[in-house]
Every structure is written in structure tokens, then in C-alpha cells.
Amino acid sequence: MILCGKLCRLNTKRLKTQKGNFFMNWTQLRVSVKTEDIDRVAAIMSMLDNGIQIEDYSDIETDLKTCYGDLIDENILNADRSHGAVSIYVPDDKNYNDYIAFLKDRFAAEKIDAKTELLGVDEEEWSTAWKKYYHPVKVGEKLVIVPMWEKYDKKPDEIIVRMDPGMAFGTGTHETTRLVCGLIEKYLKKGDYMLDVGTGSGILAICASKLGAKECKAYDIDPVAVRVAKENVKDNDVTNVECDVSDLLANVDLSGGQFDFATANIVADIIVRMAPDIGAYLKTGGLLITSGIIERYADDVRAAMKSNGFEPVEERMESDWVAMVWRKK
């Protein structure tokens, strides 16, 4: 991908590139926002792909038409300067919904008003096309995430979590989700009281329940994600997972006391912002898993957690994504 600055004109057609002996289609994922939010949106989208394209016409002078009329497209000169757009390209073998839901959660947390669209894919097709690439995936020694619509022959000792993420983040295929699932399997103790911040599809809380958590409280800022999570909880026949809407920790219910175990698969800058407060929700010695952290921001998270009463336990990395386990002192 090419990083474009001002005057970037986007090709809205689907791209096709050759990979080995076959061709792969790439679909443009475009986010439109107010001009003042472009830099923040670009930073968030670069977590998914370093090759971003930016449309920002805010500093184009109209008199350029007189001097360079043959070089600058009329549409650029007449473009809306109060709004711009940032795009990445999604390969067809990736789950569109994971990308869309990831961005939706991050924009909501940052209070960014954004319009997200896939160019080259019919909206109805978009909501279902990703399913052909979503297959059972093993995310730990025992945990296996299986799409709700697929048959799967369970092997001895496997723990099956059935998922239909809908428009919520958390299929189990994204590196951040796989990392956290594996760490939950390793560190969660039977009888733990668990908190999941930014639950998305509810996958982490459901995994914790099936691994023996006593009770799980799962929260997300997006009401659609909470609805999807509740449906997945019901479909997995777990009765000890409660899902609700909360802007990070704002509406977390502490009536049952502090938590033994917590997960926050969100994004580095939000984890940093939450670091001074999350300790109040955990018992001394309680564990917190932070994920959704791109490697270049990992030091920021480490510094924030250490300065707020947490000690490191373990880190895992997949591709450029880092997951960290912390213990409250």
C-alpha cells in the first residue's frame, strides 16, 4: 500500500494482486470524518494496516485552478474541506466484520463521529461474505472457537465456544483475540470473578465461563455489540455471564466486590488512559490481561501499568500485536 498525503485520489474499484499461484481481491475500507479528526482516525486505522490513504482537501487553495488547472482535478478543487477520509485495503481472505467492529469500538471510545463503508462490496454481501473464511480455530490447549453454522467433531478435552460475531469484534481469528484466549486458558482459576472491558462479541467472557469462572461481567460502549454478546452467551448455554453497556469502566457494577481477573482487549492509548483507574476494580494479586496493543505502542502501556501499581507477569506476541498479563500489587 502507498501512504498518500494531501490531494490523494482514491481508486474505489476492487484491487486484484497475485499471491503465489492465485489472485487475491482487496476491498477499500473508507472512513469519512471531520477534518480535525483525520489524524486520530489515521492513527487508529494504521493499527490494522500501515498502508493508509488519506483524503484531506482542507488546505487546497481555490486559486490553484488558475495556475495549475490542467494538473488538478476539478473534483478536488470543489471537494468538501470540512471533511476528509482515511482508507485501508482489506484482502478477501480477512473478515470484514473484525475490521469494521474494531474501528467502531475505537471510534466510540475516542468519541469520533465517523462513517465507515466498504467500497466494492454490496452492503448485504458485506454482512455475510466473510463467513466463508471463518472456520474453527484453536486458540489454546483446549479452547476451540467454532462458527455457529458449522459442524465440528469435538476431540477429547476440547472446550467448544460457538460464535456468531455479527457486527461485533471477536471471531477468534484476529491475533489480539487469539492471544487473550490462550492467556485466559493459562491464568484463569476456577471460581474467579471476571471483568471483561470492551467485550465485543462476548468471546472472552464466554471462554472464561467455560474455563470455570464463577461469574463474568462483560461491558462494551456499543449497544449493538452488547446485544450480539448476549445472543452468543445464550447460544453457548452459559448462565453466569452478564453483558451491559459501559463507556470503559463508567458503569461497571462493583456490588459483587472487586474482581479476581480482568481482560481489556481494546487499544494501547485507551489502556494507558484506563491504567490509573482499573486497579480499583481488581483485588490485590488479581490479574489483568491487556491486548489490542500494536508493538510500537507497547512501551507506553508498560510504563502506564507499572506506574499504576501493576507488575508484569507474561507477554505474548503475534504478528505486530502484543498481549500482556499484569498482577495488581
Q: Which of 312, 217, 221, 203 is nearest to 267 (CA)?
A: 221
Higher pLDDT, 282 or 95: 282
Scanning the chain, the segments in alpha helix (DSSP H) are 38-45, 64-68, 74-77, 96-110, 123-129, 175-187, 203-210, 223-235, 268-278, 298-306
Q: How confident is the model at residue 66 (pLDDT cuts 50, 70, 90)?
A: very low
Domains of the chain and any CATH numbers: 15-130 (3.30.70), 134-328 (3.40.50.150)
Q: How confident is the model at residue 116 (pLDDT cuts 50, 70, 90)?
A: confident
Q: Which of 215, 258, 117, 102 is nearest to 167 (CA)?
A: 102
d(CA 141, CA 133): 23
Maximal CA-CA distance, the chain = 74
d(CA 233, CA 153): 21
Q: How confident is the model at residue 305 (pLDDT cuts 50, 70, 90)?
A: very high
- 40 alpha carbon, distance to own chain's centre: 16
For residue 54, which phi and psi values (nearest 5 degrees)?
-125, 130
Encode pLDDT of 200-238 as tens digits.
889 999 999 999 999 999 999 888 889 989 999 999 999
pTM metric for this prediction: 0.68
Q: What percent of the chain has pLDDT over 90?
A: 40
- pLDDT given at position 266: 87
For the chain, give the mean pLDDT. Answer: 80
